[in-house]
Structure 1
Amino acid sequence: MKFKRPAQDPLEINLLPLIDCLLFLIVFFLLTTTFAKTGKLQVQLPQADGTAAAAKAKPLEVAVDARGHYAVNGQVLAAATPEALRAAIVAAAGDSRDQQFVISADGKAPHQSVVTAMDLAGQLGFRNLGIGTQNASTPTTP
């Protein structure tokens, strides 16, 4: 009697269950991971009590309006250029560089105009630089 040998199945590794488990683990780790917000700049702004310091002398005030035009101690400059601003500051301050230098800028003033005024104050040697603000309780006029 001749017995028939059972046919052997070829050996192979079934990777489908392994791939399913790996995909499940990847999804699980993606859902439970907390991503750090490194792209955002977190700034802690300083607080002010709103009290004015005792004034030693009359400060030199540079005002910047919403269009970027300058005024030095209330006198509007004909040109809104750094050269005209420098000449007006030198004329108003004279040789005194210890007086307070206050920049009062409109809330919608161009940033470049304010930075130009600050840069000129530094170049001319002013050490007491301040930014003019108003209290939140003070009503604004349109």
Structure 2
Amino acid sequence: MNFQRGRAKDDPEINLIPMIDVLLVILIFMMVTTTFSQIAELQINLPTAEAEKPADKPAAINVAVDAGGRYMVNGSAVADADTAALSLALRRAAGDKPDPVIIINADAKATHQAVVNVMEAARQSGYSHITFATQAKLEK
């Protein structure tokens, strides 16, 4: 016996919208929490070597040249302004340290010849490492 003759049959229905919402939330959660690691394209094994401790910093000799052409080697004034006196002062300042770095601190108004004299004295003394000290320009 069929007592439901007049009633229309309802087909079961699956609502997909809540399921899609849940999947989107899971997808967003996975994208936010995933850490991306860089994978190297090439696997390189670098060679190894045993190295000695680097030598100490070389000795530095500061040579100051003022606008008047006067010289100071490590804070001591040089009496004569010729290259022989400068060379002697550089050798005294170096002492027994081999090949020190000569740092030339020249005034902006110092003559080119005064700076070249320091370089020539360093060459006569056998010192080949020369550098110049500068200061940053102050902006107003």
TM bucket (normalised to shorter chain) is 0.5 to 0.7
Superposition map of 1:1-142 within 5 A = 56-137=57-138
User: Structure 1: where are the runs of 5+ without partners?
Assistant: 1-54
What is the CA deviation profile of residues 8-66 of structure 1, one whole-angstrom value per residue up to 9, with x for unaligned ones? Answer: xxxxxxxxxxxxxxxxxxxxxxxxxxxxxxxxxxxxxxxxxxxxxxx924410111100
Q: How far apart in 1 are the matches of 2:97 and 2:118?
A: 17
* Structure 2 counterpart of 1:28: none
* Structure 1 counterpart of 2:16: none
* Structure 2 counterpart of 1:14: none
Q: How far apart in 2 are the matches of 1:138 and 1:89?
A: 36
Report the count of equivalent residues. 85
User: Structure 2: where are the runs of 5+ without partners?
Assistant: 1-55
Q: How far apart in 2 are the matches of 1:116 and 1:85?
A: 8
SS class of match (1:102): strand
Q: How far apart in 1 are the matches of 2:128 and 2:79?
A: 27
Runs of 4+ in 1 over 6 A off after TM superposition: none
| 1:94 Cα deviation from its structure 2 partner | 2.1
Q: How far apart in 2 are the matches of 1:91 and 1:81?
A: 16
What is the CA deviation profile of residues 94-117 of structure 1, one whole-angstrom value per residue up to 9, with x for unaligned ones? Answer: 243322111110011011110010
Q: How far apart in 2 are the matches of 1:94 and 1:138?
A: 41
Q: How far apart in 2 are the matches of 1:111 and 1:59?
A: 22
**Bigger radius of gyration among the two:** 2
SS class of match (1:120): helix
What is the CA deviation profile of residues 103-134 of structure 1, one whole-angstrom value per residue up to 9, with x for unaligned ones? Answer: 11001101111001011112222122100111
Q: How far apart in 2 are the matches of 1:84 and 1:58?
A: 20
Amino acid at match of 2:118: A
Q: Over aligned residue pairs, what C-alpha RMSD do you find?
A: 2.2
